[in-house]
Amino acid sequence: MQTGFLVIQDPFQYIDIMKNVALVALFGLFLAGCASTRTADQDLKKETETPLGSAEENKERALKHFIDGALFDSKEDYARAALEYQEALRYDKNPAIYYALSKDYSILGKHSLAAENARRAIELDSTNISYRENLAGIYLNASQPELAIREYEAILALDSSYAPAWYTLARLYQTRKPLKAVEMFERLIDREGESADLLVQAAQLYLALGRFAEAADRLERVLRLEPGSRLIQLQLAEVYQKSGDTKKAVAILEKMIEIDENDVQAIAALADIAMEQRKFEKAAVLFGKLLEKDSDNAEIKLRLGAAYFGQAEQDTLLLDKARQMFEEAAEGMPGNWRPYWYLGAIADMQGEDSVSTDYFERVTKLGGETFDAWWVVGTRAFEANEHEKVMDLMEKARRLFPQEFRVYLLLGLSASRLERNDAAVENLRKALELNPGDINTISSLALTLDNMKRFEESDSLYEQALRLDPNAHIILNNYGYSLAERGLNLKRALEMAARAVAADSLNSSYLDTIGWVYYKLGNYIEAERYIRKAIEAGDASAVVHDHLGDVYYKLNDPAKAVEYWKKALELEPKNDQIRSKVERGSP
């Protein structure tokens, strides 16, 4: 038998009793329900001094305040009710009073006080399931689900057949312990029998766990209970689609459309599957039907445009149709980045670089959730030497794509061009951490460290890259040039430079490197041949012209040497080292 007050459902019940029954009789009922209170009180610390009076008088006073509190509760005056319950506790530390007071504190948003009083009720009566459920509810209201779980587990320890605790605990486990949650739902199904709600809960958990066969089985069982449920049919089709059994998904959706040709959700789902299967023509037909039913729907226009875009691989004439759909979609969803991404892609395909950049920049300003647009804008700004713009853009991208290595690659490259070497190294190391096998990242980091004269680190990276790909010609070139500049291992440097030129014989940087290695080896004839080829290949830098000037000086042709140093100075007017060569007429 539970100890404590009988929980009052209707406070006015006590008023009627008091009108018709002697007060002594009423207290007889009250005392019978509180047989253990006196003993429990002895184990509690006194919160406030109990007023003087006989035990019977204190019980009477406590009951009066308890009833007044219940009356205020019935009027939703929870603050005054709480005051009455506090007063009642001065006369009798009864678990039912703590329970009532905790509920009011919870309603008033005073979660800490609510939990404190709820726990006190449980201390006085640890087997009362209602008290534990109340405390669990308080914890949930206070966003402390782990503590709520503990209480529901205690309830099931008291009564393993208490279904509400099983159900609530299973729901609480869903995000934290999905395997435990699905086990509990299955036990509920075994105990309570199959119900649509329990089966759906189990199916959703199986789906989240990637156990598609079990998810499909539970939804099939729901359909046996509710054969006409469109929502369950759609969910089942989704499960089959995710499991890779597209044939069954399509069969379900086509049957739904056969029953109701205006079933918009089924048509849309079938169209999406067609898009996934790259059946763009079929998708376009289905999205076209949807657009007929809702001609102003921007989302449908977007999807129809995507279907046309997909077909444009075989028929470029459909790009105009696609563009029209995307332009109309953009008008209908001005804050959505997706139409602008497609419009940028179309412009890019048609060679309209400035137009595509404008669209892709709009994607970035709208927080586009695909990195492709950010990459296009960033790389084009990099190629235009707008490195501050790259840095600003990629800093924003980093907040959206913290695990995208290309963000850090561009940040590192632009920081290097801006001679912010420490920032360059930091970002390039992060890019390499996210994509350890990327040769371009290794090369960029090694080159930056090389320029900082941190040769031990740069050489280690070059060697790492060559272990990954012995034929990586950018590594062969850069490493060979680095060794030549330092006058180290020139035989190996020449071998690497030759392999780089063999891979790309028109690359001016590669031609300059092998020429410079020959220069360091004292073979000025071969040096002149390759470095001249580098200049003839076009876009040769000031360094290449400077190198050829040095070569001619060694070939005893100072006039030609000065000629090429002057050309180098034209390309780099602020280069004092080259200026000194021109002025002296010698290196």
Tokens of 18: 């008091």
Residues of the chain with pLDDT under 50: 1-48
List alpha helices for 142-177, DSSP H. 145-158, 163-176
In a 13 Å sphere around the CA of 393, the CA atoms on its Cβ side amount to: 29
Task: Write down the pLDDT at residue 50.
Answer: 53
Task: Write down the pLDDT at residue 22.
Answer: 28
The pTM for the full model equals 0.60
Alpha-carbon distance of 92 to 139, in angstroms, equals 26
Task: Write down the pLDDT at residue 51.
Answer: 60
All structural domains of the chain:
1-125 (1.25.40.10)
Q: Model confidence over 293-323: pLDDT tens digits?
A: 888 999 999 999 999 999 887 888 888 999 9
Task: Write down the pLDDT at residue 152.
Answer: 86
Alpha-carbon distance of 200 to 206, in angstroms, equals 10
8 — alpha (psi -120 to 50), left (phi > 0) or beta? beta
Asked if 170 and 181 count as a contact pair (C-beta separation under 8 A), the reply is yes
Residue 541: CB partners within 8 Å, gap ≥ 6?
508, 571
Task: Write down the pLDDT at residue 52.
Answer: 60
